[in-house]
Structure 1
Amino acid sequence: MSLRYEPTDPYAVRAAFFTDTDELAEWVLGRDLLADGLTGSAGCGDVRVWPAVGRGDHAMYIALGSPSGTALLEVPVQDVKAFLENTEALVPRGAESGHIDWDLALANLFAKG
């Protein structure tokens, strides 16, 4: 799994991974959801994240669900922590709204309507 972060979309993390059919799947996860899942159960519905019990602080799980199937990913905690620290160096938690181009976001909303 690879994680990608864009400061222009500061609340989101993009997770890409290959499925058992060798197709690339990409999911958009909330950055706060991923951070909350480091220490406890977070999320409901299509995306859930939680620490792997009995694995110390070495792994966490990300469960993804959609009408076409489900996936359970086991991810190294240290990799996720390092990734989140890098995102927070770009956009500190709590400062996300200052990094959004609101004029562009509204223009995109109205263009789709």
Structure 2
Amino acid sequence: MPADTVVEQAVRARMIASAPKMELVPATLRYERKDPFAVQMAFPASATLAGAAVAWTFSRELLEAGIAAPAGLGDVRIRPYGDDRTVLEFHAREGIAMVHLRTSELRRFLGRTETLVPGGCERQHLDLDQDVSQLLGDAY
């Protein structure tokens, strides 16, 4: 895939546990032009309790909003924490995973996504014909 259609950024997340210690875990933020409304945050198997890689997909708009004020009501919730951190909460049947990220890293990532697909221009990057073809092809 050409490099100009994807933004990927490695980040160090602090996993918040019930103990006072916060473990540093690797994670990757990813944004693709072909899915212009979505952001993905992936954790490697070594960072999960189940020992399997996990990726969460949520809206870019939610990430932008959550940096400034609490945002999200569903499986992903984001809120500022102090002046330089942002908390991402991932809710699943098994429990809640919470990570702290540097807000500056999130802003840098979002800036890179804006360069790829400016906010408000997402619909121009959707391939609706292909999506409809796939849906109809699956129906036969």
The alignment yields a C-alpha RMSD, in angstroms, of 1.4
Q: How far off is 1:112 after superposition?
A: 4.8
Gap runs ≥5 in structure 1:
none
Counterpart Cα distance in 1 of 2:138 and 2:104: 39
Residues 12-91 of structure 1 mapped to structure 2, 5 A cutoff? 12-17=38-43, 18-52=47-81, 55-56=82-83, 58-91=84-117
Counterpart Cα distance in 1 of 2:138 and 2:88: 31
For 1:46, the aligned partner's letter is D
Q: How far off is 1:2 after superposition?
A: 1.0
For 1:87, the aligned partner's letter is T
Three-state SS of the structure 2 residue aligned to 1:38 is helix
Gap runs ≥5 in structure 2:
1-26
Q: How far off is 1:14 after superposition?
A: 0.8
| Runs of 4+ in structure 1 over 2 Å off | 20-23, 107-113
Three-state SS of the structure 2 residue aligned to 1:43 is coil
Identity %: 35
For 2:105, the aligned partner's letter is D
1:9 aligns with 2:38: no
Residues 46-102 of structure 1: per-residue CA shift (max 9 Å, x gap): 1110001xx21x100011111132201111101100000000000000000000000
Counterpart Cα distance in 2 of 1:70 and 1:99: 33
Relative to structure 1, the CA distance from residue 28 to residue 112 in structure 2 (aligned partners, 3 Å threshold; closer, same or farther) is: farther
TM-score (normalised: structure 1) = 0.89
Pick aligned residue for 1:105 from 119, 131, 134:
131
- Count of paired positions: 110
